[in-house]
């Protein structure tokens, strides 16, 4: 394995093969620091060789041959990345250009899954129920806050305000009164120039994992897991990644056989609608009138408290078997 990290400035560096170094800590979230190395990607599709160049501190000029060493050929890339430039199709585009196989969805599905507005647009066109929503830009908000407020009020309360293209519940707010709307929009605009405002759906929050089918077969869908709120308002970043209190993850969820079958069918349809590949997690609300898709995550979390591995383990796959499946799917022609 070749561990590659990305710094805040976008430099690809050779990292330590030490998972403990990046263990989630509520007091100090891990960060990839610039250690002076630079990953050199293949310069054409004719090779899969990865190299590393070591540069002196504060310099980018270490170009002599003695400073470069080969890391060997790459069989497959596992882009365990969240948010912009990671799961939005950009890194997938880079890997396509240099001809490296990779785990997960391609450019189109990654971009669609990352953009909540276009996810909803595609799913609605496929006949899949989604929460009613409006999308606004920073310019529209600055030009006419009253028009935005009027459109949002038509959706009813409560509302959820989200950056259109951010992950991990970053910048998301629950709005219980219209007086809270301006502040929520400003929070979301700090993460993205487009903001989604959607109706708060009353229902059970359930999720399932999807794995692509081998050799063009239909997608496979796991059993369901359920997110049960005890004291938190919603499933936010701290609950997802820092194991904050106030949320219980139940897997498998208590669903009837017909409910589970319907959920799995919708999840497979949603995965196919965005042209998904490899894996995804599909998030639902189970309401009195049926299932509503909330989001599709094309590179779901893999932490010990993440729902994607929990659901597949409950479906009979071990953690190593999940990884093997993903690599095998990535290597299929």
N- to C-terminal Cα separation, the chain? 22
Topology annotation, domain 133-199: Dna Ligase; domain 1 (3.30.1490)
When the candidates are 1.10.580.10, 3.10.129.10, 3.30.470.20, 3.30.70.20, the CATH number that belongs to 109-129+202-331 is 3.30.470.20
Q: Where are the domains of the chain?
A: 4-74, 109-129+202-331, 133-199
Rounded distance between C-alpha atoms, residue 241 and residue 270, angstroms:
25
pTM over 0.75: yes
Residue 271 makes CB contacts below 8 A (sequence gap 6+) with: 210, 212, 219, 280, 282, 296
What are the residues whose beta carbons fall under 8 Å from the beta carbon of 258, sequence distance 6 or more? none
Rounded CA-CA distance 2/52 in Å is 11
- What is the chain's pLDDT, residue by residue, as a tens digit (333 residues)? 999 999 999 999 999 999 888 887 777 788 999 999 999 999 999 999 999 998 665 545 544 544 899 999 999 999 999 888 889 999 999 999 999 999 999 999 999 999 999 999 999 999 999 999 999 999 999 999 999 999 999 999 999 999 999 877 789 999 999 999 999 999 999 999 999 999 999 999 999 999 999 999 999 999 999 999 887 777 766 666 656 678 899 999 999 999 999 999 999 999 999 999 999 999 999 999 999 999 999 999 887 778 999 999 999 999 999 999 999 999 998
Q: Cβ(96)–Cβ(106) under 8 Å?
A: yes
Q: Which helix (H) or strand (E) holds 109?
A: helix 107-114
């Amino acid at each position: 394995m070749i561990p590659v990290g990305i710094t805040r400035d976008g430099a690809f560096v050779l990292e330590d093969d030490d998972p403990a170094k990046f263990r989630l800590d509520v007091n100090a979230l891990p960060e990839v620091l610039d250690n002076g190395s630079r990953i050199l990607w293949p310069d054409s599709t004719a090779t899969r060789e990865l190299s590393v160049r070591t540069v002196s501190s504060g310099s980018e000029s270490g170009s002599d041959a003695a400073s470069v060493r080969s890391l060997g050929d790459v069989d497959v890339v596992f882009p365990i990345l969240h948010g912009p430039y990671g799961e939005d199709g950009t890194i997938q585009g880079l890997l396509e250009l240099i001809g490296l196989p990779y785990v997960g969805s391609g450019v189109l599905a990654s971009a669609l899954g990352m953009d909540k507005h276009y996810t909803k647009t595609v799913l609605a066109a496929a006949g899949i129920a989604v929460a009613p929503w409006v999308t606004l830009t920073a310019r529209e908000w600055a030009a006419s806050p009253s028009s935005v407020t009027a459109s949002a009020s038509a959706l009813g309360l409560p509302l959820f305000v989200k950056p259109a293209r951010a992950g991990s519940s970053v910048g998301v707010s629950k709005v219980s009164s219209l007086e809270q709307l301006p502040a929520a929009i400003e929070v979301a605009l700090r993460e993205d120039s487009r903001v989604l405002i959607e109706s708060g759906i009353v229902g059970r929050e359930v999720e399932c994992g999807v794995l692509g089918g081998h050799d063009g077969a239909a997608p496979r869908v796991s059993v369901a897991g359920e997110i049960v709120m005890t004291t938190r308002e919603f499933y936010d970043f701290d609950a997802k990644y820092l194991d904050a209190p106030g949320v219980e993850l139940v897997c498998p969820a208590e669903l009837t056989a017909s409910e589970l079958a319907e959920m799995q069918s919708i999840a497979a349809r949603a995965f196919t609608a965005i042209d998904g590949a490899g894996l995804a997690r599909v998030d639902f609300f189970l309401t009195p009138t049926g299932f509503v898709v909330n989001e599709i995550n094309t590179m779901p979390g893999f932490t010990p408290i993440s729902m994607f591995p929990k659901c597949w383990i409950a479906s009979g796959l071990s953690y190593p078997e999940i990884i093997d499946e993903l690599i095998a799917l990535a290597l299929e022609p």
